[in-house]
Amino acid sequence: MRARKTVLAAIACAAVLVPASSAFAGTGPAPAPDKQRSAKSTAPSAAGNPLSARAKAAGVCDDAYQIGTTAYIDRSGQHAASVKQFYSPDCKQNYSYVWVWQSFRDKVKDYDVSTSVYSYSDEKFHGKRSWADTNLQEFWSNPAETAGHCTAAVASLRAPGEPLAGQAATSKRC
């Protein structure tokens, strides 16, 4: 009888320790997505944001990302602007991007900017856009149908009173 009581007590203890159901990480209903984290920013940035208003106005595709190196236009030994090349796999287009640094904008109120995609394959400039007497910070070229070409983003920046513009080109991408 004593052995039977011991076995029953052991079974009762085991039943308390074993859960009736199990839950594992990743099971159950998914939490509601955090809208703040899933929303993509449309703010312009030095890195280049294909979702910004100026990118949209230029026809830049949402999935565009930087390819190659960043180049710099210098003025008086200081970086005045960054130049980048972007590529969209969905649209199969290249874009040139220029970001004028705030330190330059603080000193020079109106300047001239041009940007385009240079093709080493046909030795032409594609998607070229130019602005005169502007004080904007973000500039995108028009879409360049150069997906099958070797390309580089090129840009120029000229301050008032300077006879020549500063220029820069990103690395060659094939």
- Report yes or no on 140 lying in a domain: yes
Residue 6: inside a domain: no
Residue 150, domain member (yes or no):
yes
Structural domain range at position 155: 67-169
Does the pTM exceed 0.85? no
User: Using one digit for the tens of pLDDT, what is the confidence trace for 72-121?
Assistant: 999 999 999 999 999 999 999 999 999 999 999 999 999 999 999 999 99
The three-class DSSP label of residue 94 is: strand
pLDDT, one tens digit per residue, over 28-63 is 343 343 333 335 899 999 999 999 999 999 999 999
CATH of the domain at 125: 2.60.40
What is the domain count for the chain?
1
Tokens for 142?
Answer: 């028009």
Question: What is the percent of the chain with per-residue pLDDT over 70, rounded to a whole number?
Answer: 78
Q: What is the pLDDT of residue 24?
A: 30
Q: Is there a domain that residue 142 lies in?
A: yes
Q: Indicate whether 16 belongs to any domain.
A: no
- Give CA separation, 115 vs 5, 78, 132, 170, in Å: 89, 20, 12, 12
**How many residues belong to the chain?**
174
- Tokens representing 77? 């030994």
- Residue 96 forms part of a structural domain: yes
Mean pLDDT of the chain: 85
Beta strands in the chain (DSSP E): 65-75, 78-88, 93-100, 111-119, 124-134, 138-140, 151-158, 166-169
Q: How far apart are CA 45 and CA 55, in angstroms?
A: 11
Residue 45 domain-assigned?
Answer: no
- 25 falls in which pLDDT band (50, 70, 90)? very low
The reply to whether 86 falls in a domain is yes
Q: Which of 3-7, 26-30, 113-117, 127-131 has the lowest mean pLDDT?
A: 26-30
